[in-house]
Amino acid sequence: MKGLLKNLGLILIVIGAIILVACAFTGNVNNNGILGGSLLLIIVGLIGYIVLNKKLAD
């Protein structure tokens, strides 16, 4: 369980990046909801990765 929690931020970043790549390939780059959602996933994943790894290291 600790391994999944440690990698949760990285998983969110990868999901956000996959959404951005899928939007680029389909040409759906004008939908602000999808682009904003993927940006939010990347930012939350980055912050979560930093915070969770800092807490689990202590």
User: What are the residue ranges of helices labelled H in the chain?
Assistant: 2-6, 8-26, 32-57
Q: How many Å is the Cα radius of gyration of the chain?
A: 13
Domain count, the chain: 1
Encoding tokens for residue 11? 């998983």
Going by C-alpha positions, the residue among 31, 33, 38 that lies closest to residue 12 is: 38
Higher pLDDT, 2 or 23: 23
What is the extent of the structural domain holding 19? 2-57
Considering the entire predicted model, what is its pTM?
Answer: 0.86
- When pLDDT is averaged across residues 6-13 and rounded to a whole number, the result is 91
Find where tokens 């440690």 sit: 6
pLDDT of residue 58: 63
Q: Is the pLDDT of residue 24 over 90?
A: yes
| Mean pLDDT computed over every residue of the chain | 90
